Amino acid sequence: MKAIAKSFLIAAATALITNAGDAAHKPAPAGHLEIPPDLCPLSGLNKDQKTSPSALTQKLNEKKNRRTAPTDTDFDSRVTIQKMLAPGKDIGRFDEARGAEITGLVIKVEQGGHPETANCGDLTEQFTDTHITVAVRKTNDLTTTLIVEVTPWWRQTMAQRGMDWSTVKLKQTLTGHTVKFRGWLMFDLDHESESINTRPANAAKPPWRQTAWEIHPITAIEVVQ
């Protein structure tokens, strides 16, 4: 193992992370059924868990739900966290068909949107995304940060490989550490109006991030010493 880094490998107790404590985190309404990621269409389902979202949302969801990791030839070696956080209107700054690897300080880790159409309206931590807020340096100003995300499918896949990517474990292990993330570049249109770089002057909500560009989904995590 290299002295400068250690692989982020956490043994999982079972092949699939259990869902025992999730219901208390976000109580499910009567009649709600959680849909595992391998049964959720790549294009997702509306929050009613029965109908399909709009064509634009389906296209975005298919990017969020990518099942394969980027190969070496897919990676854009020019991408860094500094370039992702650079100011300016950045909608076309990167190529969503490319992968990237960035290294930054993890500010916080939390459950992502619940429910979201990409995850078929699921509510529990097991079947929703993990939002990881990353910055160049320690900060309390979230408008200088970006988001990288673990998706339910990759959480399930990593559990089968003996790694615990649950939101709780990632929060315990990554918060406050410098971490290397690999995965797919994605511009999250859902947060375009909430990001400093693309937020219109008359936006209804205040900004809570620098950019709508993300690493999403994350396909590899490594804590750097």
Q: Where are the domains of the chain?
A: 5-224
Q: What is the pLDDT of residues 106-133, one digit of tens each?
A: 999 999 988 999 999 999 999 999 999 9
Q: How far is 151 from 156, CA to CA, in rounded Å?
A: 9
Residues of the chain with pLDDT under 70: 1-28
- Could you give the count of Cα atoms lying within 13 Å of 10 in the half-sphere of its Cβ? 19
Q: Among 111, 114, 117, which residue's Cα sits nearest to residue 47?
A: 117
For the domain made up of 5-224, give the CATH fold: OB fold (Dihydrolipoamide Acetyltransferase, E2P) (2.40.50)
Q: What is the mean pLDDT of the chain?
A: 89
Q: What is the pLDDT of residues 77-108, one digit of tens each?
A: 999 999 999 999 999 999 999 999 999 999 99
